[in-house]
Amino acid sequence: MANPILEGKTPEIKGFYDSKCTSLFNIFEDNLLKRGADSDIGASIYLSINGEALVDLYGGYQDPLLEKDWKEDTICCCWSVSKTIPALLTLMLIDKGLLDIEKPVAYYWPEFGKNNKENILIKHILNHTAALSYVDDELLPGEILNWEKMVRAIENTSPNWVPGKKIGYLNMTFGFLLGEICRRVNGGRKLSQHFKDDLSNPYNIDWHFSLDDQTLPRVAKVFQSEPELFNEMILKEPDSFFSKSMKGRNPHEDYNNVSWHKAENGSGTGHTNARAMGRLYSMLSSGKTDNGTTLFSDKILEMISTQSIKGIDNLTKAYEMRFSLGFEMNCPPATPMGPSNKSFGYLGAGGSIAFADPELKMSFAYSHNFMHMGIGPGPCGLPLVEEVIALSNQL
């Protein structure tokens, strides 16, 4: 049975898949037609090996209420998969010698260095050990989307605990931290402009921050399986690290308002689809662009595919995580990402995911507009990831 939100509409699937990947198509179809209240509403998946697309599927509805099909160019919020972009832009600047991972953040961003943050290094941001998962300032609803407000709040914050020792997922601060560091050495460009100039426009990557009016009509409407869950978690334990990390969140946020779409929050307001994510992660798997030119050196590829730290995340105090310098790494059940320990990527709230395996030169991405709550890629994403892992031994 399809999702009840569709009110009897039958989702259609378009795109293509290699016959070797029929099992992946079948799961994608089941996700849209047979999982009942857990079923996807609209989604896309992409799988490539050695730069060759083996699966590029999309289907369902961009907005079932308006009977708008999910089209080839539909894009959707990808939540924390957004962190891919500030991480990659930072690594590219490191590769160019404009940033040094062993230098203090304050070397490039002097205002950052107050309140006992003078010893936090660039690498501590990249591997989520900077102890800046939440800011000290109280924020008004919606200010978590405000670049200037968040940058000032980060400057005013003291470390949440001793930096450099523990993983503390930089839930909503990661994009502002790296975005501002990059801005200090890239000529003053904020994240969206930096990304357009250096990645999305040159390589035709359909991934966006701070969406313009021409792009908004392509955005899928987001639905949530438990729309009040975040609010309930915050109200139940307002002093938890996780709740503090959500300071400035609009309690009425449904991810469909223009302020969310136009925000420049590199931690969560990116909008894209599986093809764009998969193509970019295909480049990350080798350090080469589609046309074979160098995206970054082998030194960077080794950096992002090698474990920097592993441990229980101090933000949730519940899940073991692994990080390279820049990315989450394969670590089930929180972040299952392919067959090898070198696989890296990002998982987004609700189940969106993108990852690369540099040993197989494989990339996989999944984008959808029905947010599932809970750990991991969720009831639709997890079967896809598990099948990709199974197929990787045959492809």
pLDDT < 50: residue spans in the chain: none
Which residues neighbour 179 within 8 Å (Cβ) at sequence distance 6 or greater?
Answer: 86, 147, 190, 191, 194, 264, 266
What are the residue boundaries of the structural domains of the chain, listed by start?
74-379
At 4, the amino acid letter reads P
pTM exceeding 0.95: yes
In this prediction, residue 354 carries a pLDDT of 98
In this prediction, residue 375 carries a pLDDT of 86
In whole angstroms, give the CA distance from residue 351 to residue 115: 36
CA dihedral 3, 5, 11, 14 (to 10 degrees): -100
In this prediction, residue 325 carries a pLDDT of 98
In this prediction, residue 327 carries a pLDDT of 98
In whole angstroms, give the CA distance from residue 77 to residue 144: 16
Which residues neighbour 27 within 8 Å (Cβ) at sequence distance 6 or greater?
Answer: 383, 384, 387
In this prediction, residue 394 carries a pLDDT of 84
- Tens of pLDDT, residue by residue over 177-232, are 999 999 999 999 999 999 999 999 999 999 999 999 999 999 999 999 999 988 89
φ, ψ dihedrals at 125, nearest 5°: -70, -45
In whole angstroms, give the CA distance from residue 263 to residue 324: 27
Instruction: Name the class of domain 74-379.
Output: alpha beta
- Give the H or E element holding residue 16: strand 13-17
